[in-house]
Amino acid sequence: MPGLIALIGGNEFRWDCEPMDRTLLARVGSSPKVVIIPTAAARENPALAAENGVRYFNGLGAQAEAAMIIDAETARQPALAAQVGNADLIYFTGGDPVYLLEAMRDSPAWKASQEMLPRGRILAGSSAGAMILGGQMWAPGSGWREGLGLVPTIAVIPHHASLASRWNAARMRASLREGVILVGIDEATALVGPPWQVLGPGKVTVYRGKKPAVFKDGQNVPLPDQETR
């Protein structure tokens, strides 16, 4: 069975994420191994981000641990890449998306993250962790840059409902590369696939055509080219 990608809108490791995350854990069996990657929080407090994730997933019945990848150098350490590759569910936390993108690009840790998907595992990213997985990623102050392209036809806006005033979807769409669709994801909510479906209490908004399309928990989200890299 092919693996799944979970693009999460933010506010990870909180009570309102539990139903969503229990559903994800159930898809990889009982007592799954979860590896938290706190790279995006490296300029703040990666140890705290890792601790929060480990405690949270252990509370949900998983076997959680952190891979303390905090920069490009540690992303290239074989032992940490092997730790990532042995996970049933990898979870990239929120934080600084540009820092995370630059640390992970072309690294052994990123290669290990991709290689676990064909084995039926799950790769999840919240906020910054979701943004880097798209074909393009919005960098505040400088616009679009190339994402890691795991989901090449998507560009993610996290915290979509709570920070709607900060996002200018019309301007973002105007400069987005052709063939990439802008997708807003609310906090504690995930776009999971392929094929793509909404999990969680919030909404997923797809900016396509003249009017955005809004999808809720359990609904399928039609997106083109559902093949991932």
Q: The domain 4-215: what is its CATH number?
A: 3.40.50.880
For residue 124, the cross-strand partners are 6, 91
6-59 per-position pLDDT tens digit: 999 999 999 999 999 999 999 998 899 999 999 999 999 999 999 999 999 999
Q: What is the pTM of this model?
A: 0.95
pLDDT-derived band of residue 167, with 50, 70 and 90 as boundaries? confident
Burial degree of 105 (CB within 10 A; 0-12, 13-18, 19+): middle
pLDDT-derived band of residue 227, with 50, 70 and 90 as boundaries? very low
Secondary structure class of 212 (helix, strand, coil): coil
For residue 215, the cross-strand partners are 204
| Cα–Cα dist 20/86, whole Å | 23
Q: 141: which residues sit within 8 A by CB, 6+ positions away?
A: none
Calculate Rg over the CA atoms of the chain.
Answer: 16
